[in-house]
Structure 1
């Protein structure tokens, strides 16, 4: 498949890098330095120029493209790219936007702006935050199979009841599959075996029914997982903050929002009558103490500045807040945030690249989650007659799949099927599989 990516920033570069091994990728960007850097770093063809210019698109051979992804940091440019492409090509177009108004218009009028699909960076970030808030001990939560299946990644505390157990010993949860363990300090996630030891300080990735995932979370960290999430403080009045608050209200949680600018605070109070809004500096320790931020189940820092978000998150943790989640604009800071004390760092560009990637996977991959570090992936595929799984028990399939793969969950007619050696996969089943980074493309093609 030929994929044209317009915009070689963090999102575009991430998409190009993840797809270049299996597809022919062309990248267009105005910045010649970015173009040169990407050409050396990835196996892509790069073109310097304006992606809204028909001559530049012609140089990039847009007429041969199967998919065009508009991923610059400017909404209007991305929409213009999609509209321009549609005048000269039948390619499937994907637009990345920040402004939810564009997304609302597109949803009401499919195909508006020349976009066949649209992703909103701030909405995706808010959805990620809310999923993590809802599972108190998780660092990542992704839904699959229409919400019937969840992937969750957990830190294993040194004093966890599971610390020191093998996967075989810990595998006592119905409708749950252990797929990977990331030892402390390791640079990639590895498939688990029965004798894999779950050490304290490591990370473990599981896939299963939501109820089983929650049961597992209580086993990993009983003290924290037993807490009901009622009190969430959102620091900053950004659009991401507003969208996060809206979704928390929908889940029955009344958030508290702290926004320094009085005008924006007033606007949020009018838009979110169920929320409590303060106009104050959230980095003021006296204010944090007076408003009992130390009692919050979670504090979400989204101040539009990575430095200020980090400060607010760490101050909230220092005050005694149970959990701190921070929105991080620069992907390179994610590990730093989590190293110095932030429980979960959410990078909107990363979740956007992940969302777009799933639309360009070969062989109908319907959902994709990326497991860091190392870029392992969990993919969801609907099985057809050409799949290596069709009509065969899983134990007979092992020889046809590379090492580094786990069939983690199966759904059939809306029901959950726990994958075991004698489980026969049927055409039409939805299969969720974990694959280490170096075998992702091979596995996706075979499934």
Structure 2
């Protein structure tokens, strides 16, 4: 597939890194330094130029492009890029936007603006925050098979009961599969003899109930009911959207916004959210409002440094868990080390969603882990598939070593895969796959 990416910032670079091994990728940017950087770091055709100009798109090979991804930091530019691409060819177009209003307009029309698929950064980030907040201790959460199957990633702390155990010893759940151990830069497929170490991230796949029970095992001090008392700091669009999603789940979050006019508008917009007008770095205010009694604090201000400060203050007051928005991707690991339990980078979230969509065309559902080092795929076993009637142990013998069958959804029933389990037509199978063998696995399926 030939792909043109317009915008070589953090989003575009991450997408290029995910696609350049298997596709012919051209990247366009007006910034000479970015073009030089991506030329040496990725196997792509890098072009300095304006992606809204037909001449630049022609230089990038628009005539035979299968897909154009507009990922600059300017919404209007991305929309114009897609329109320009459609004016001279017929590629599948993807636009990244931050303004939810543009997404809503696009959704209510048929392929408005010449855009075939649109990703709203703020909405996607808010959804990610809420999904993680709903499961105690989780660093990442995805759901499959109409929410019958949950995939989650958890960090193993020194006081965790499973620290030092093997996977076989830790496997005490009827409908749960240990998929992988992420240790530093290594992704280890979970085997019975694999030892779980402090600092590891453990990826599990199973029923929502079993994954939630496992969450309580990994972090015994955490409540297994998820976040009921939520405090959001910052009335940014991400903060407001997150509050709206929490409301839709029956919660009544509190939102702290310093600007009086913005606070008033948010109070009108969010009927079930208690909006507090104050400076969230005011410790006396936080104590008076019993912020320490909340299950989770979401830092969604428009400054990475202030989000870190708010998270540190929340921790000092006794809040068990913090999620912070971190715009600068290079700060994510640092901030998670010094004060934020889970740092969510909007640009990375957007890049993963766009990359996920390009790959979903081969499967029903896909989740990406650890910056595209591993993937979780969902596919349906079709009537004519050689997998129909095959036993799991026979299927695994044909698949690469770095694959785990995590769960099988059969109608409304969840089947925990065992060697003797026989796949049936109509089954939805959820697989954990090392990224290096994804293409071989998809070809087999």
State the TM bucket, normalised to the shorter chain: over 0.9
Are the structure 2 counterparts of residues 271 and 362 from structure 1 closer, same or farther at C-alpha, using a change threshold of 3 Å? closer
- Contact kept in structure 1, 2:215 and 2:224, CA below 8 Å: no
1:317 deviation in Å? 0.8
Counterpart in the other structure of 1:97:
97
1:220-271 deviation digits (Å, cap 9, x = unpaired): 2232134553211111110000000001011111111111111111110111
1:56-92 deviation digits (Å, cap 9, x = unpaired): 1111111211111111111111111111111122211
- Contact kept in structure 2, 1:137 and 1:224, CA below 8 Å: yes
- Out of 252, 255, 258, the residue aligned to residue 256 of structure 2 is 258
- Contact kept in structure 2, 1:141 and 1:152, CA below 8 Å: yes
The 1-side partners of 2:350 and 2:225 are apart by 30
Counterpart in the other structure of 2:276:
278
Q: Using structure 2 for the length normalisation, give the TM-score.
A: 0.95
- Contact kept in structure 2, 1:388 and 1:397, CA below 8 Å: no
Alignment of 1:19-418 (within 5 A): 19-183=19-183, 186-226=184-224, 229-361=227-359, 364-372=362-370, 375-384=373-382, 389-418=387-416
Counterpart in the other structure of 1:7:
7
1:198 deviation in Å? 1.8
The 2-side partners of 1:227 and 1:394 are apart by 34
What's the secondary structure of 1:315's corresponding residue? helix
Are the structure 2 counterparts of residues 82 and 374 from structure 1 closer, same or farther at C-alpha, using a change threshold of 3 Å? closer
What's the secondary structure of 1:435's corresponding residue? strand
Are the structure 2 counterparts of residues 70 and 428 from structure 1 closer, same or farther at C-alpha, using a change threshold of 3 Å? farther
The 2-side partners of 1:161 and 1:362 are apart by 37
Root-mean-square deviation (CA, aligned residues, Å) is 1.9
Figure out how many residues of one structure are paired with residues of the other and give that number. 445
What's the secondary structure of 1:104's corresponding residue? helix
- Contact kept in structure 2, 1:188 and 1:372, CA below 8 Å: no
What's the secondary structure of 1:325's corresponding residue? strand
1:103 deviation in Å? 0.8
Structure 2 spans left out of the alignment, 5+ residues:
none
Q: Using structure 1 for the length normalisation, give the TM-score.
A: 0.95
The 2-side partners of 1:71 and 1:181 are apart by 32
- Out of 425, 429, 443, the residue aligned to residue 441 of structure 2 is 443
What's the secondary structure of 2:442's corresponding residue? helix
1:190-209 deviation digits (Å, cap 9, x = unpaired): 11110112223322110112
The 1-side partners of 2:358 and 2:118 are apart by 13
The 2-side partners of 1:63 and 1:422 are apart by 51
